Amino acid sequence: MTSPAPNNLTMSARHGASPPRTSLSRTSRWRLPTDAFWPFLLPSLIGFLIFTAGPVVAAGVISLLNWNLFSPPTWAGLKNFARLGPDPTFWSALGNTVYFTFVSVPVTIVISLTLALLLNQGLRRIAVFRSLLLLPYATITVAVAFVWIWLYIPHDGLINAVLGLVGINGPAWLIDDNWAMPALIAMSVWKSFGFGMVVFLAGLQAIPQQLYEAAKVDGSSSWQSFRNVTLPMLSPALFFVVVTSIIGSFQVFDQALIMTNGGPGSRTTTLVMYIYRTGFENYDQGYAAAQSLVLFGFIVVITAVQFLLQRRLVHYDN
């Protein structure tokens, strides 16, 4: 029986038996009226064109306008894009977003991978640990952001109290110029490591044990097995998690809005927060649309670079 789904979906026996198809050629499909696809396609297509594809095109148009929503728009040409160059807030938001992304993604991935390897050591209660470790991923960001503000209370907050036990005088975290971003990053890592962990765990469990046995026969140490068997076999999963994590991190918003509101100063103002403020606090829709397209441009470039690297670094098993 051919597997009907990519994911070991078990089929009921009723459907499992191959139906007779000896008398049936591959080409004898339904004879359909040519417009039979419309009822299937139309509900999705109408909504998609109006609410997804249309707005993408409209974003391009709005970025070329001066528009505050209340008065009629005027043509701005590329002026909104030209405004980005001398705008210090934009550059600091970009810098903050890059800082956030390039610290939080590697840290998250190392933690996810370590925990996946730990859980894959033949534990009997693996599903229980997996669920509990995935819990932060399934909480509301706004709600847990409050708890993290509480954990970060300067002087006697839980985190600084624990640091005090080992003689470290903890910083004021969210209101400290240099520690606000690391504090946001730590919260974000906590919130999201479960995703990668689950992907890696599934990837690890799909590696055939024969490969490890063969490596053992060849005299591999456990580090060599990890380097030569686990990492190559896991590389597609790693690639996927890196790409999606970077895209997600570039769009960080919720925790920064709740925990620091972009502060202190603009130390934690992210690109999406700046887009939100430009569009919905300053009502400068044209400029906000231009910023959002630049954000998209960054994501496209970073993703394209990763796909180029993928050819050299990712091992596909087929």
Partner 1 sequence: MTTEATTEAMTKPGAPTHKLIVFACFLVTAVTLIPVVMMVLVAFQSDAESMAARPSFWPSSWHPENLTRAFDLVPLGRYLINTVIFAGGTTLLETVTAAFAAYAFARLNFPGRNWLFGIYLATLMIPSQVTLIPQFVLVAKLHGIDTWPGMILPHAFTALGVFLLRQFFLGIPRDYEEAARLDGANRWQAFTRVIVPLAIPAIATLAVFKFIGQWNNLLWPLVISNSDATRTAAVGLQVFQDTNGTQWNLLLMAATITTVPLIVLFFLTQRWFVRGITMSGLGGR
Structure tokens at 183: 């504090």
Please report, as residue ranges, which positions from 232 to 271 form the binding site for partner 1 (by CB under 8 A): 236-237, 240-241, 244, 247, 250-251, 253-254, 257-258
Residue 130 engages partner 1 in binding (rule: CB under 8 A) = yes
The amino acid at 72: P
Options 206, 214, 308, 309; binder of partner 1; rule CB under 8 A? 206
Please report, as residue ranges, which positions from 103 to 122 form the binding site for partner 1 (by CB under 8 A): 115, 118-122
Options 156, 169, 311, 312; binder of partner 1; rule CB under 8 A? 156
Contact 116, 200 (CB under 8 A): yes
Residue 217 engages partner 1 in binding (rule: CB under 8 A) = no
Residue 27 engages partner 1 in binding (rule: CB under 8 A) = no
Map tokens 């999705």 to a residue. 44
Options 6, 72, 85, 88; binder of partner 1; rule CB under 8 A? 6
φ/ψ of residue 286, rounded to 5: -65, -45
Options 13, 22, 27, 32; binder of partner 1; rule CB under 8 A? 32
Contact 239, 310 (CB under 8 A): yes
Residue 219 engages partner 1 in binding (rule: CB under 8 A) = no
Work out how close the CB of 161 gets to partner 1 at its nearest, in angstroms, rounded to a whole number: 8
Residue 214 engages partner 1 in binding (rule: CB under 8 A) = no
Per CB under 8 A, which region of 12-20, 91-99, 101-109, 172-180 contacts partner 1?
Answer: 12-20
Please report, as residue ranges, which positions from 63 to 82 form the binding site for partner 1 (by CB under 8 A): 69
Structure tokens at 212: 């490890």
Map tokens 């380097």 to a residue. 227
Contacts of 230 by beta carbon, 8 Å cutoff, 6+ apart? 117, 204, 207
Work out how close the CB of 178 gets to partner 1 at its nearest, in angstroms, rounded to a whole number: 23
Residue 293 engages partner 1 in binding (rule: CB under 8 A) = yes
CA–CA gap between residue 268 and residue 261 (Å, rounded): 8
209-231 core/surface letters (b: 16 or more CB in 10 A; e: else):
eeebeebeeeebeeeebeeebbe
Residue 289 engages partner 1 in binding (rule: CB under 8 A) = yes
Options 78, 82, 110, 158; binder of partner 1; rule CB under 8 A? 158
By beta-carbon proximity to partner 1, the closer residue of 176 and 254 is 254
What is the three-class DSSP state of 105?
helix
Q: Which of 142, 234, 144 minimizes the C-alpha distance to 197?
A: 234
